[in-house]
Chains A and B, each alone.
Chain A
Amino acid sequence: MSTSLETTTIKLFDYAGEFAENKDVAAKLRTEIILPNLANSNRVILDFENVGNTTQSFIHALISEAIRQYGIDVLDRLLFKSCNDKVQSIIGIVTDYMQYEG
């Protein structure tokens, strides 16, 4: 993890490995890094370099609460770096269904 003035970057591979599926890890990153930084109006970059695949459950545990707390416009401050097609699709699924107005 590297921090500048306004941006915190989380290298997912360092925490979750090539197949990012451990929801306990996602919950820890959410509560200890992502939400506190967003609460301080910082920008968070989730860097998926070297992550080959992930699960919907992992991505949900990582980002859904941020969307719920700050609204979908949090996507201006919550960015996704170096995602392959599969990771992009799963992030897209989660951000789509978090916009469902039930």
Chain B
Amino acid sequence: MKIHIPNSAFLGNINHFLSRFDPSEPEKLEVTAHDKWFWVHPVVLSMIAALGKPVDPGNITCSIAAKTGVYLERMGLYSFLGIGSGLNIEEHEAAGRFIPLTQIKTSDDLSRFLTELVPLLHLEPEHVEPIQYTMSELIRNVLEHSKSPDGAIVCAQYFKKTNTIRIGIADRGIGIKASIEGAYPVDDDLGALGKALTPGITGTTTKIGGTAQNAGAGLFFIKTIAYVNQDPFFLYSGSAMYKLLKRTGSSITLRANPFNDRHSKEANMPYWQGVAVGIDLALDTTKEFSGLLKIIRNFYFEAVKENKDKKTRMRKPKFI
């Protein structure tokens, strides 16, 4: 496999980075980077770490200039790959800046990670909530559906200039198409991404309301958090990529079909075995989480009411 880190690879321009990924010869990994500088989204690092995790370190080459390698060292990439950076750098306090590459393989790993996240980020509760929520749902998806022996590889970084938290999560599991096909026929990877983002569709059953353990709502919630907050969201699996673009205008209309949202998509990207997800959460525009949930609840309520017999009363939970 060959992967190259360009000058810049954020969610808006990530296609260039993805298009140069060569997934052939999976027993080897060659990482190269622009020799002067680069500035990349955490999902780029999560993807490279996920690629390298199962590869024998003796089969990994990482040709990166020392100056730019410092960033990768601080994010923990070299130790993930099991190779030395040859760099001797002064460690800085991570709090408020970034969450280095972290491997999460179990439910308890995730609960610990989410608890440790709060002091690391040094943020107000209204900002922490959507971040915790997003990470919990996305990483649990990996643990439950990916069948990846290496679990989820996660990292995040705070960008002061834009006051944004950028999150990247990658796995090398079965991918979304294989997961969705457990319950629904899908033609291709892009169709599978569309199904996975649609509320009420899960790879575990075709029953409305899902199973006791899955409802098929997790990715729809995450896409909605991004949509309402005008944040970009990126999902890549197999040969397909879906990117939710920032909504324009002030009106908020939730849509069940992700292809009816403002988006871009690709169906013939280099094949990514597994799933990679990237999301940006701009803290200046983060809507209060309780308000965001009310928007989602109203969407479900209207959809269910419309579907019900007009004479049947909707039951409400009793809060005491």
Contacts and interface: CB of A to CB of B under 8 A. Distances in A.
A42 to B, nearest CB: 16
26 contacts: A21-B114, A21-B133, A21-B140, A22-B108, A22-B110, A27-B212, A53-B133, A53-B289, A56-B215, A57-B137, A60-B213, A60-B217, A61-B213, A73-B315, A75-B315, A75-B318, A84-B290, A91-B319, A96-B297, A96-B301, A97-B208, A99-B314, A99-B315, A100-B307, A101-B208, A102-B307
Given A19-B114, A86-B289, A60 B304 contact: no
B132 A97 contact: no
A89 B212 contact: no
B315 A57 contact: no
Contact of A23 (B107, B200, B308, B309): B107
A37 interface: no
Q: Which 3 A-B pairs have the closest CB atoms?
A: A102-B208, A89-B293, A65-B212
Query: What secondary structure prevails in chain A residues at the interface with B?
Result: helix
A90 interface: yes
* A30, A97, A101 pick with most chain B CB within 10 angstroms: A97
A102 to B, nearest CB: 3
Give the contact-size bracket for chain A: 35 or more
Query: What secondary structure prevails in chain B residues at the interface with A?
Result: helix
Given A22-B107, A92-B297, A53 B132 contact: yes
Interface string A22-62: 11100100100000000000000100000011011100110
B132 to A, nearest CB: 6
Contacts of A85: 290, 293
A21 B218 contact: no
* B137, B309, B314, B315 pick with most chain A CB within 10 angstroms: B315
A53 B129 contact: yes
Given A23-B213, A86-B290, 18 more contacts: A19-B132, A27-B213, A55-B133, A56-B137, A57-B137, A57-B140, A57-B218, A60-B213, A60-B215, A64-B212, A67-B209, A72-B315, A81-B319, A94-B215, A95-B315, A97-B208, A100-B303, A101-B307
A27 B213 CA distance: 7
A79 interface: yes
Interface string B269-307: 000000000000000000001100110110011011001
Interface of B: 107-108, 110-111, 114-115, 125, 129, 132-133, 136-137, 140, 144, 199-200, 208-210, 212-215, 217-218, 221, 289-290, 293-294, 296-297, 300-301, 303-304, 307-309, 314-320
Given A53-B289, A60-B217, A101 B308 contact: yes
Contact of A100 (B115, B129, B137, B304): B304
Contacts of B315: 72-73, 75, 95, 99
B51 to A, nearest CB: 28
Given A53-B129, A101-B308, A81 B320 contact: yes
B136 A21 contact: yes
A82 to B, nearest CB: 8
B65 to A, nearest CB: 41
B317 A24 contact: no
A99 B315 CA distance: 8
A63 B79 CA distance: 42
Contact of A97 (B200, B213, B293): B200
